Amino acid sequence: MTLHFENNVISIKSPETEEVVNPFKDNYKSYQELGGILNEKDCQNVLDRMRDLKVLDSTDPQVKSRVAQGTGIATFAKIELNSSEGMLDPKIVLYVILRGDTQPEGAKHHHSQMSDQQIFGETLRMLGDVGSLEKLIKAYPNISFR
């Protein structure tokens, strides 16, 4: 799948069928069924930011580092990424957004406290990518993804 921006909307096209799919529709219920732990408001906020995102600043050292972290996790878990020149896989885009979040003042629990692998797992849940989530869990048996 690749991200396509048209009229400020992100759509995702399947490379096999060229069918445009919307991973955001009715997403929270599916996310929860896959074991997702973010609350609905935070989950929707992250998805809205991804949808509104036009460009990740590739010159920003933190963005570069997060892209490399997400790519490294996916590579280790043998998760296929469909990135091309100028287009990042949605898994990496969501990972960069989640990893960059900071804990709001007064919040007792926040996903910024999670490991990189756990955040990548939340990303896969948000996108409904069950196959990749299974690969991630298998690749990192000593990390709790619950």
Each domain of the chain, given as residue ranges in start order, spans: 24-139
DSSP string, 11-62: EEE-TTT--EE-TTTTHHHHHHHTT--S-HHHHHHHHHHHHH-----TT-HH
pTM of this prediction exceeds 0.75? no
**Tell me, what amino acid is at 41?**
K
Sheet (strand 20-21) strand order: 2-6, 9-13, 20-21
Q: What is the pLDDT of residues 19-50, one digit of tens each?
A: 544 454 456 788 888 888 787 888 878 877 77
